[in-house]
Amino acid sequence: MKKGIHVGIYLVSAALITLTAVRFGVFKRSSRIVELEKAVLEMRSTIHMESMRQYQIQKVMAIIRQYNVKMPQHESYEIAEEIFNMSQKYNNLNVDLICATISHESAGTWNPEIKSPAGALGLMQIMPATGMFIAAFDGINWSSAEEVLCDPIYNIRIGSRYLSSLIDLYDVDGGLAAYNGGEHRAALWIGSGKAHGILFEETASYVPAIQRLYQEFRDFRL
């Protein structure tokens, strides 16, 4: 009798060990499958992000070609890449809004060295005093206004940070108004419910002009 009990216990134990081993093997295989699926999903996400990035860069390059056919392709790519980078850095900006601002500010030239009669420089037409102030926050060495602000990458970096900060304060229309005509007028305009007669005449035309370009570039497809 005791021998039968021992044999029974042995068989049950062996069965449990075998079942546990099988389950453990299945668990290991399941874990590997989960890890593989996770890796595939991450890879797909990475591919999607890179595809989106390249599409946006190519889109900006196509916009640049509409305005400045003489710009070398490598420079166009670097500018487009920086615009995309700024659209990712600031969640209230996107490539279309930055491109609209540059197209209008540069008088439709996309010339990195353009200078206004008032002394604003570069693609996003930044005044030297403003540029020097913002450059300090971005860790940009301020050698001279011309050297920094006529560098398209620095100009876009500084201009995007400035525009983003203004949009944070006054929303898109108010931010654009502040970018062109100063914060005081923009704040009064927003506070009045965007009443007529508060903005300077140039600024009153500037805001809808940028918005038209913004919509145009949003609708633009390669």
Query: For the segment 121-143, what is each residue's pLDDT rounded down to a tens digit?
Result: 999 999 999 999 999 999 999 99
Q: Which residues pair with 115 in a beta bridge?
A: 121
Share the mean pLDDT of the chain. 89
Residues in contact with 188: Cβ distance below 8 Å, sequence separation at least 6, in sequence order: 198
Is 78 assigned a catalytic role? no
CATH class of domain segment(s) 2-219: mainly alpha
| Residue in 42, 50, 82, 105 annotated catalytic | 105
Q: Where are the alpha helices (DSSP H) in the chain?
A: 2-67, 73-89, 95-105, 128-138, 145-149, 152-181, 183-191, 201-219
What does the domain layout of the chain look like in residue ranges? Answer: 2-219
At 23 the pLDDT is 54
d(C-alpha 37, C-alpha 70), whole Å:
47
Please identify every stretch of the chain with a pLDDT value under 70, giving residue numbers as ranges. 1-29, 37
At 149 the pLDDT is 98
- What tokens were used for 65? 């070609």
